[in-house]
Amino acid sequence: MASDRASAAETTRFDFLVIGGGSGGLAGARRAAELGANTAVIESHKLGGTCVNVGCVPKKVMWNAAVHAEYLHDHSDYGFATENAQFSWETLKAKRDAYVSHLNRIYRNNLDRAKIQTIQGYARFTDDPEPTVEVNGRKLTAPHILIATGGQPSVLSDDEVPGASLGITSDGFFELETLPKRSVIVGAGYIAVEMAGILATLGSKTSLVIRQTGVLRNFDAFISANCTKELQNNGVDLWKNSQVTSVSKTDKGLEVTIVTKDPEKKNDEKTSTIEEVECLLWAIGRQPNSSGLNIGSMGVDTDERGNIIVDEFQNTSRPGIYAVGDVCGKALLTPVAIAAGRKLAHRLFEGKKDSKLDYSTIPTVVFSHPPIGTVGLTEEEAIKSHEKENVKIYKTSFTPMYHAITSRKSQCIMKLVCAGKEEKVVGLHMQGLGCDEMLQGFAVAIKMGATKADFDNTVAIHPTSSEEFVTMR
């Protein structure tokens, strides 16, 4: 009995314990603290998680630099002489890294101001009867424990692809000290598209290896086809129906062996080699950071990929343990994790029992060249849920006015997916100059249930690309 009391006394208690100091964990922790909860955040690396350190933030800095490179091609058409422009990857990296460090400090200051305890280290659930974690030999518990450990890039082993470990992932991209002269990106998702676009636009000779015929296959087919075409227009060497089968190191760099299949002839394969590769980047998906937590002993269920299974209120299968963000494997986007973390805090500490995130109609942007904006259902999804005869499509393709006087051309494409007699707008998809900043307002309208008639009744802003959405016929 005495030893039980001693072990209980050694366990530090909080109202809310958050494992993971990324976007979702920090948002939930800060909101809980605002609502009066005694809160602690456990983080093994840097505050800010994937987004701030090796994701959206540094990626957007690199994309901004690539946009400058694109505009350089247009300067002479607009009357500017800029023949001697030089690009320094080293300068950009130093400024980018300093900005990220600045954000790390801001996150730490915000936690300190909110009187949230920050604990550095890895958390692992113990076998204690009540949910308890151990960090650096110290036991911590709370009636409410949030798992927000995020995800990491998936990697192939050398057994799966000989020499695969000679490549890097998106994490390693941000460690590159110089611009690679020759790059090979493997993958067809948005990270592969963004990395290939940034490297190619900044001057690296870039190949993109994809297993099928197009990129972004989970997006609307209109977007997938156009983005595939734009990558090629921007000088990316696209290897369709292809897979990397081996990688070897030579004194001139990496040698990447690729097998390409003819989709019409099942047994027709061609083997090729790309030589002198300085950067091989695997962008083949992401996996949850759930394996080291010992959550199985807590009765927390995961799917076959290790994603933590949660209900609509972010509850796991173990009462008192919750999960938000990429570790759940659904809608892997920073603002989703933030919103879910905050909604959970309001439910737990403000008594708002119905507080939960609505995972439908989530807008997202791909920072390709040009950028993509999309929200709601694809045409295919709309037909599945509403039947083909109840779905009406409006689309357009045009050259933005910016490119009217430039020798470099890039199209803007737009599509509205409408359903039912009232033609409710259930999907909106676009790629073109400015589409990244155009989407948020349209997403609000669609979330509110806007119809095609509502779009038509809105006066256009001229001359802009966005006016096309309110003048479609």
Question: Over the stretch 229-259, which tens digit does the pLDDT of each residue have?
Answer: 999 999 999 999 999 999 999 999 999 999 9
User: Which pair of structure tokens corresponds to residue 114?
Assistant: 């909110």
Burial class of residue 309, CB neighbours in 10 A (0-12, 13-18, 19+): middle
* pLDDT of 1: 43
Phi, psi of 180, deg, nearest 5 = -65, 140
Percent of the chain with pLDDT over 70: 98
pLDDT tens per residue across span 287-318 = 999 999 999 889 999 999 999 999 999 999 99
pLDDT tens per residue across span 26-72 = 999 999 999 999 999 999 999 999 999 999 999 999 999 999 999 99
The tally of CA atoms less than 13 A away on the side-chain side of residue 307 is: 17
* pLDDT of 413: 98
End-to-end CA separation in angstroms for the chain: 78
* pLDDT of 263: 83
Say whether pLDDT at 366 is over 60: yes
pLDDT tens per residue across span 261-291 = 988 887 789 999 999 999 999 999 999 999 9
* pLDDT of 187: 98
Bridge partners, residue 39, by sequence:
16
Mean pLDDT of 199-209: 98
Say whether pLDDT at 183 is over 60: yes
* pLDDT of 228: 98
Distance, in Å, from the CA atom of 278 to the CA atom of 177, rounded to the nearest integer, reads 12
Say whether pLDDT at 9 is over 60: no
**Predicted confidence band of residue 21 (pLDDT cuts 50, 70, 90):** very high
User: Which pair of structure tokens corresponds to residue 106?
Assistant: 């801001």
Distance, in Å, from the CA atom of 353 to the CA atom of 323, rounded to the nearest integer, reads 17
Q: Which of 360, 316, 350 is nearest to 19 (CA)?
A: 316
Task: Among 205-214, 266-275, 346-355, name the one with the lowest average pLDDT.
Answer: 266-275
* Cα dihedral 296, 301, 302, 304 in deg (nearest 10): 90
* pLDDT of 264: 82
Q: Which of 13, 22, 14, 56 is nearest to 341 (CA)?
A: 22
* pLDDT of 83: 82
Which has more confidence, 104 or 7?
104
Task: Count other C-beta atoms under 10 Å from residue 393's C-beta.
Answer: 15
Mean pLDDT of 166-183: 98
**Catalytic residue list contains 462:** yes
Distance, in Å, from the CA atom of 458 to the CA atom of 385, rounded to the nearest integer, reads 28
pLDDT tens per residue across span 82-131 = 888 899 999 999 999 999 999 999 999 999 999 999 999 999 999 998 99
pLDDT tens per residue across span 251-263 = 999 999 999 998 8
SS3 state at 70: helix
**Predicted confidence band of residue 3 (pLDDT cuts 50, 70, 90):** very low
* pLDDT of 349: 98
* pLDDT of 135: 96
Rg (CA), the chain: 25
* pLDDT of 5: 42
Percent of the chain with pLDDT over 90: 94
Across all residues in the chain, what is the average pLDDT? 96
